[in-house]
Amino acid sequence: MLAVASRAGHVWLALAALGVALLPLWASNYHLELASTALVSAMFALSLHLLVGAAGMVSLGHAAFFGIGAYAVHLLPAGMSVLLTLPAAALLAAAAALPVGALSLRTRGFFFLMTTLAFGQMLFFVFHDTPLGGGKDGVFVSRPALEAFGLVWEVPRRNRPTVLLLLNLGVLVAMYAGLAALLRTLFGRALLGIRANEGRMRALGYDTFRIKLAAFVVAGALAGVSGHMWAMAQAFVSPELLGWHRSAEALLMVLLGGLGALHGPILGAFAFIGLGEASNLVTERQKLVEGLVILAVVLALPKGLAGLGLRRRPARPAAPSPAGTPVAAAEL
Amino acid sequence: MDLTGLFAQVLNGLQYGLLLFLISSGLTLVFGVMGVINLAHGSLFMVGAYAAWAIARQTGALWLALPAAVLGGLLIGALLERGLFRRFYQRDHLDQVLLTFALILLFEEARSFLAGNDFHSVPVPAVLDFSVPVAGDFSYSAYRLAVLALCVAVAALMFLGIERTRIGSAVRAAAEKPEMVDLLGLDARRIHTLVFAVGTALAMLAGALAAPLHSVYPNMGDGFLIVSFVVVVVGGVGSIAGAFWGALLIGLVDTLGKAYAPAVAGLAVYVLMAAVLLVRPHGLFARRT
């Protein structure tokens, strides 16, 4: 399961990324901001996919790490370089994910789901009820500076959506490439093996708890990165960012895109955001549309939107692999 | 710390815990028997509370809400089980989560459409709107005492029903080993419908009882749902006794925490859950497997 796209699939994904990068040539600032939201949602769903798709761990508390990454922008001194705030947000989220993961992973299945949900709500209350996060109504934050090696780039307000769009696109592409590489490592293979049969992996001598915990922390750090990018785009953070409804929506994006492919959540996020925007034209009752769409997806489309010809076909036994690597291993 | 105040808080905690028991017993049974996660359980609680508000407003007789919640809950639960949930017993957790998340959204939209988005308080029924002198100059709300007594009665009925009746033993068999039900020649599908309907009725009854105490407001099911999850994690999945003692423990910790350490009260139950997970990852009352 969880195949990385084939060579042809990567061409399509690259073309799609190019299409997004060229949006500023013709799209309005409103649509650029919408595309940025979709990119950030795609990052978040992608980070969750490392848990759900690769390791088979369904977490309902993942938004807590997204929110912590976003609040990192508020907690760090204003005017810091994004080159510092981004890793700081990832580290902060990872630091929260470590104890939560260590406790939650003592359980599995249904218990894991409830435990992650409860710990996620606990972190929600930390920002909702204590003065740490600036109150339950949320707080405006100043955007991290675009500064590298002492050079500050002041972006004029009207160009900001374009710059943020390209920045988010870059982060998403890097995240996707990083995860694709990670899945090819021994660690990634072990993770996929745990999803297939954890008992066998343990019998082979793998410390499955530590592998799952490492995946949980990496996924948390990546969620922190996406939260940071969210705060940078919106310049506003609120406790709702940590709430479990956001986790459930990310799960929907993952399922909508299809569980079998690494790029699934990206499709799912764009479909979800596009759908929300389209439903706005028809009715103000967004939740009604969202609920009906989810019902339709789980009842009629259990495999999601993925496929679309981007995944590697299961290898035929005789077919020699082009790059010398065994083709079957890429499918796993 | 004055003793009468402490006593009142302990009673409040027990009463809140018993309400939590009504909610979490349905949650734990539905998972124990059918293996399905119902996030919409909190929405059913909300439906019960809003039904109580509507009935009290229309007729002025809040007690009517109790049979209405139970009967309506049995009906709604049976319909949901037959129409939707039945198809999801064999699906993985992700699908169950999304199905029930969709139901939450739809229940919230229905609530917003039918009752609006305002906060409504529900008056305590006039016959119970007084204080009972308990000891010395300490007195306690009669309505809360009535809720306490009713919840204890429901809990006792459930224990008797599950431990002493034929249907109860079939439910226990289904929770223990689903194949057992088929081997015993019982109709598993009817047991599933029954369990789901009873769980729904309990959640709606809890909602109706809670309405005068907690008022009714949008998304009110969310908070109760999550605390009920904590109860199930602490007590152990599929165990009615676990849900009972877990609910009392969580009710007391939360209520006493809010009264005596308000700064950290929101976190207290989660810290308790973390501690239980460290020591007994399957819950305090989990059956040994």
- For the stretch B133-175, pLDDT in tens is 776 677 788 889 999 999 999 999 988 988 888 888 888 888 7
Distance CA A328, CA B279 (A): 42
Smallest Cα distance from B142 to chain A, Å: 32
- In this complex, do A118 and B109 lie within 8 Å of one another by their Cβ atoms? no
Q: Indicate whether B178 belongs to any domain.
A: yes
Element (H, E) at A280: helix A264-282
Q: How many domains does chain B have?
A: 2
Size of interface A-B (CB pairs under 8 A): 114
Q: Are residues B66 and B182 in the same domain?
A: yes
Q: Which fold has domain A7-308?
A: ABC transporter involved in vitamin B12 uptake, BtuC (1.10.3470)
Enclosing domain of residue B273: 220-289
Largest CA distance in chain B: 60
Q: What are phi and psi of A61, to 5 degrees?
A: -120, 15
Is a pLDDT exceeding 90 seen at residue B50?
Answer: yes
Give the domain ranges of chain A. Answer: 7-308
Please indicate, yes or no, if residue B61 is contained in any of the structural domains: yes
Q: What is the pLDDT of residues B236-277, one digit of tens each?
A: 877 788 899 999 999 999 999 888 887 777 788 888 888 888
Q: Which residues of B touch A120 (CB under 8 A)?
A: none
Boundary of a domain, candidates B176, B203, B218 = B218
Residue contact A125–B267, C-beta within 8 A = yes
Whose tokens are 């660690």? That residue is A187
The reply to whether ipTM tops 0.85 is no
Residues B173 and B251 in one domain: no
| Same structural domain, B274 and B137 | no
Query: Which residues of B fall within a CB distance of 8 Å from A248?
Result: 39, 97-98, 101
Please tell me if residue A125 touches chain B, with a CB cutoff of 8 Å.
yes
Backbone angles phi, psi at A220, to 5 degrees: -65, -45
Q: CB contact, 8 Å: A182 with chain B? A: no
Rg of chain B (C-alpha set): 19
Q: Which residues of chain A have pLDDT under 70?
A: 1, 150, 301-332
CB–CB contact A291 B103 (8 Å): yes
Q: How many CB atoms lie within 10 A of CB A158?
A: 8
For chain B, the average pLDDT equals 87
Paired tokens of A296: 């339709």
Angle between helices B65-83 and B41-59 (to 10 degrees): 140
SS3 A5: strand
- Same domain? For B114 and B168 the reply is yes
Instruction: With beta carbons less than 8 A apart as the criterion, state whether A69 and A228 touch.
Output: yes
Provide the whole-model pTM: 0.85
Shortest CA distance from A294: residue in chain B: B102
Helix (H, G, I), strand (E, B) or coil at B158: helix
Query: Has residue B126 been placed in a domain?
Result: yes
Q: List CB contacts (< 8 A) between B98 and chain A.
A: 248, 251-252, 255, 294, 297-298
Clarify whether residues B148 and B49 are in a common domain.
Answer: yes
Read off the pLDDT of residues B13-42 as tens digits, 9 standing for 90 and up.
999 999 999 999 999 888 888 888 899 999
Q: Answer whether residue B41 is part of any domain.
A: yes
Residue B270: inside a domain, yes or no? yes
